[in-house]
Each structure stands twice: as structure tokens, then as C-alpha cells.
């Protein structure tokens, strides 16, 4: 494995993040504070607890997942799309670097950025509510797997996109609605039976449920299903990326 090539891609992508570190730090802090003002104060005053957990604390896992998923996709998609847009991707493809090393560099940097945002949001949330993490190792595992899997999805989107507008198409029209409808700010048990059944077909529900279980020991679906869902999703994304590099789809054409 060419570790120097992986490190070079990783450092190049991270340098762009560090150049806007202040913006990257302030933005999630402000957005998290606004969410607590709107949801915690306005809705929390009407809903005191959800299954024994204060509503302000209950929304923290969903809030982190919302930001982590969108940031992972955004960073990874832009990271690979921009070299393709300006044509430098061909220099990368002609270099003695395997597709696995290319993916590892870009996806690793995108996942690192999203993980940083997730930690910042968690720290900001702790200023508003009392948080207790019952399963810290599981919380870290779910967070890392989510960053990795959605960074892989973002990498696919970056290769698929033909314009900067298409980069935002999937995150805005598909991922964000699925997060909001996946129990990020409410418990599925609060829905009517018919909608509970429909919500079970939302794949994001399993990620948020497992992540919330790591915090409070409560979940809308079994934790095993959550791990299986994120494992299958990660494997599927890796399979698609392998096919893309094997066929050269939208890279060499």
C-alpha cells in the first residue's frame, strides 16, 4: 500500500478544511444553538420528556446525525468532483496509485471533517442540556461508521455529478428529508401505527436509533438491525465505488 500517496491526498483535502477552520467551527455552533432555541424552547416547553429523557437531550443524537451525514456527503462529493471538473483527476489516475488508495485518501479526509463537526455539536449541546452517554464505545463506533459510510456515498455523488447543482441534489432532496422523517427529533412510538410501519422503511431511522441507544439505552428498532443496516450500506457503497473504478464510469469519459 502506498501510504505516502494516501497521506498526500489526505493532507491536501484537510488543508482546505484548516484554511476555513474558524468558519467550520462557528457554523455548527450557531446552527446547534438555533436548533435548541427553536426545538428545545418552543417544542420542548410542550414535550417535557420522551420515554423518560428530557426533550432537549433527546434531540441531540438526531441533531448530530443530521450534521454528520450532510457534512460527510458534502466534503467527499466536492473533494472528488473538483479535480474531475478542472481535469486534474487524470493526473491522479495516471499516477502509481490504486483506486483503493485514492478512495482512502478522499473518504478519510471527508470522514475526519464530519467527525470534527460531530464533536463540536456534541460539545455545544452539552452547554444546553445534561448529557449522559451510557455506551460511549458504541457511540463512537456509530459515529465513525456514519462518517465513513456517508463519505463513501458522497464520493459516489461527486463522480456522478456533472454540475455543482447536482452535488446538492441528493443531500437536499433525499438525505435531509430522510433524516427529519427518521425520528431525529421525535420517537417513532409517538406516531400512529400506520406511520410507524412506513417509517421502518426509512434506512436513516436505523442509524439514528442505534446512535440514540448509545446515549440513553433506548431505541426505536433493535440495535442489531442498526448495525446490520449501516454495515450493508457501507458494503454497498464500497461495491459501487469498486465498479466505478473498474469500468471508468464518468471518470475516463
Is 63 part of any domain?
yes
The mean pLDDT value of the chain amounts to 89
The answer to the question of residue 69 being in a domain is yes
pLDDT at residue 155 greater than cutoff 90: yes
pLDDT tens by residue, 29-75: 788 788 777 776 666 667 778 888 888 889 999 999 998 998 899 99
For residue 71, tell me if it sits in a domain: yes
For residue 47, tell me if it sits in a domain.
no
Q: Give yes or no for a contact between 113 and 198, defined as CB atoms under 8 angstroms apart.
A: no
Is residue 233, in this structure, part of any structural domain at all? Answer: yes
Lowest mean pLDDT among 12-21, 100-109, 226-235: 12-21
Mean pLDDT of 88-110: 90
61 CB-near residues (< 8 Å, 6+ apart): 184, 208, 211, 212, 214, 215
Name, of 58-62, 88-92, 210-214, 243-247, the range with top average pLDDT.
210-214
Range of the domain at 215: 3-42+53-247
Overall size of the chain counted in residues: 253
In a domain, 217, yes or no: yes
Q: What is the mean pLDDT of residues 75-88?
A: 90
The answer to the question of residue 29 being in a domain is yes
In this predicted structure, the answer to whether residue 24 has a pLDDT above a threshold of 80 is no
Q: Structure pTM?
A: 0.92
- Alpha-carbon distance of 66 to 182, in angstroms, equals 10
In a domain, 252, yes or no: no
Domain count, the chain: 1
Supply the pLDDT for residue 56. 85
What digits encode the pLDDT tens for the residues 65-76? 998 998 899 999
Say if residue 253's pLDDT is above 70: no
Amino acid at each position: 500500500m502506498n501510504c505516502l500517496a494516501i497521506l498526500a491526498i489526505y493532507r491536501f483535502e484537510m488543508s482546505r478544511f484548516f484554511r476555513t477552520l474558524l468558519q467550520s467551527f462557528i457554523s455548527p455552533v450557531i446552527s446547534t444553538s438555533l436548533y435548541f432555541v427553536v426545538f428545545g424552547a418552543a417544542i420542548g416547553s410542550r414535550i417535557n420528556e420522551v420515554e423518560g429523557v428530557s426533550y432537549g437531550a433527546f434531540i441531540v443524537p438526531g441533531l448530530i446525525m443530521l450534521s454528520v451525514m450532510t457534512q460527510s456527503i458534502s466534503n467527499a462529493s466536492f473533494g472528488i468532483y473538483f479535480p474531475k471538473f478542472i481535469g486534474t483527476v487524470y493526473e491522479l489516475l495516471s499516477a502509481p496509485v490504486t483506486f483503493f488508495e485514492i478512495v482512502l485518501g478522499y473518504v478519510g479526509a471527508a470522514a475526519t471533517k464530519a467527525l470534527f463537526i460531530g464533536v463540536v455539536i456534541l460539545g455545544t449541546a452539552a452547554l444546553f442540556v445534561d448529557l449522559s452517554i451510557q455506551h460511549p464505545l458504541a457511540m463512537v463506533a456509530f459515529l465513525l461508521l456514519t462518517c465513513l459510510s456517508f463519505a463513501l456515498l458522497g464520493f459516489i455523488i461527486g463522480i456522478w455529478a456533472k454540475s455543482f447543482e447536482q452535488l446538492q441534489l441528493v443531500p437536499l432532496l433525499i438525505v435531509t428529508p430522510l433524516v427529519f422523517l427518521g425520528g431525529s427529533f421525535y420517537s417513532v412510538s409517538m406516531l400512529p401505527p400506520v406511520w410507524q410501519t412506513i417509517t421502518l422503511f426509512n434506512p436513516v431511522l436505523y442509524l439514528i436509533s442505534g446512535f440514540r441507544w448509545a446515549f440513553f439505552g433506548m431505541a426505536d428498532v433493535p440495535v442489531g438491525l442498526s448495525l446490520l443496516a449501516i454495515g450493508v450500506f457501507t458494503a454497498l457503497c464500497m461495491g459501487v465505488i469498486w465498479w466505478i473504478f473498474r469500468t471508468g464510469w464518468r471518470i475516463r469519459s
